Structure 1
Amino acid sequence: MQVKSPEFGTVEVADDRVIEFPAGLPGFEQCRRFVLVHEEGREAEVFLLQSADDPDVAFSITAPIRLGVNLEFTLSDEDVALLQLDSIDDVAVAIIVRSQGADETGPAGAGLSANFMAPLVINTRARRGMQKVISRLGCEITLRQQG
């Protein structure tokens, strides 16, 4: 399958590498199929989650641990069913990140913005995902200094 990405051009992706988000992502419900792409020849710390349905929809994602964050939350029975999850070992958690320029939030806000309240949960075996919106702080977030 060929996927168009404004950042990487047209990328050839095997059909078994497509991640299905049955409910889409909040605000992008029409996009249900995504692929992970990254720059060739470099270790991937940040991936581009590129929609296979709309080339203009893409998100930079990374593992919370890359930012020194331990993120723990509970999946409901409905979440487990949606993900077709049989084993916790098949779960990958990622967060959407974006860079913020000083012109967006002023000099004090320039840097990286990460959405810890809506992590992506992916069943790596079944290649199904969802965005788990955490409406209240019932999860545990631990920040660790990297060094």
Structure 2
Amino acid sequence: MKKIQTRFGEIEFDPAKVIHFPEGLIGLDNLKDFLVIPNEKQGPLFWIQSVDDPAFAFPVTDPTNFFLDYAIAPDAEERKKLQIGEKDDCFVLSIVSVGEDKKITLNLSGPILYSPETHRALQVILEDTTYSTKTPLPEVKNKE
């Protein structure tokens, strides 16, 4: 077990369970290893904590919790980088942002592909998409 000091306090972790981003994150290619930190509150969000820079963490979620038709699958090159086959599981995560206006958005044009089998992940950029880096959550309609 290893330990790092983070904004969440001291965290002890198993190096075998670290999520490795072989290419880093977009704009942060020096950050390659991350831990999953559950959110203290119940709900669909959790944190990804950098091992390389313990001051850096960000919230993520499964975008299908909010956008039922959002479906992304890794192509052959992405599967190769994730070290998975066509039938292996690959989960899609979106980075969550909260603006100054307290509006929550998801980065649906730059999703993270994650293989639980290999503990590898990639952030990809979708081309020709209607989604944006700051896609607002759908409005909740009141039932009356």
Q: TM-score range by the shorter chain?
A: 0.7 to 0.9
- What's the counterpart of residue 23 of structure 1? 23
- What's the counterpart of residue 90 of structure 2? 91
Give me the whole-angstrom Cα distance separating, in 2, the residues matched to 1:44 and 1:50.
18
* Residue pairs, 1:64-75, within 5 angstroms: 64-75=63-74
Change (3 A) 1:124 1:87: farther
* Highest RCO, 1 vs 2 (Cα 8 Å, sep ≥ 6): 1
Q: Is the Cα contact below 8 Å between 2:39 and 2:45 reproduced in 1? A: no
- What's the counterpart of residue 122 of structure 1? 114
The Cα offsets for residues 42-101 of structure 1, whole Å up to 9 and x where unpaired, read as 545211111100012211100012223432234222111000112545211110001112
Which deviates more from structure 2 when the two are superposed, residues 27-36 or residues 69-78?
Answer: 69-78
Give me the whole-angstrom Cα distance separating, in 1, the residues matched to 2:66 and 2:5.
29
Counterpart secondary structure, 1:94: strand
Greater fraction of residues in helix: 1
Give me the whole-angstrom Cα distance separating, in 2, the residues matched to 1:44 and 1:5.
22
Q: Is the Cα contact below 8 Å between 2:72 and 2:92 reproduced in 1? A: no
* Residue pairs, 1:14-93, within 5 angstroms: 14-39=14-39, 42-43=41-42, 45-93=44-92
Return 5+ residue gaps in structure 2 as ranges.
132-136
Change (3 A) 1:136 1:45: same
Give me the whole-angstrom Cα distance separating, in 1, the residues matched to 2:72 and 2:65.
18
Identity %: 26
Q: Counterpart amino acid of 2:65?
A: R
How many residues in Structure 1 have an aligned counterpart in Structure 2? Answer: 135
Counterpart secondary structure, 1:72: coil
Change (3 A) 1:123 1:146: farther
Q: Counterpart amino acid of 2:6?
A: S
How big is the alpha-carbon RMSD for the aligned residues of Structure 1 and Structure 2? 2.4
Deviation at 1:24, TM superposition (A): 0.2
Q: Is the Cα contact below 8 Å between 1:20 and 1:34 reproduced in 2? A: yes
Q: Is the Cα contact below 8 Å between 1:94 and 1:120 reproduced in 2? A: yes
Change (3 A) 1:58 1:129: same
Matched, 1:113 2:105: yes
Counterpart secondary structure, 2:92: strand
- What's the counterpart of residue 5 of structure 1? 6
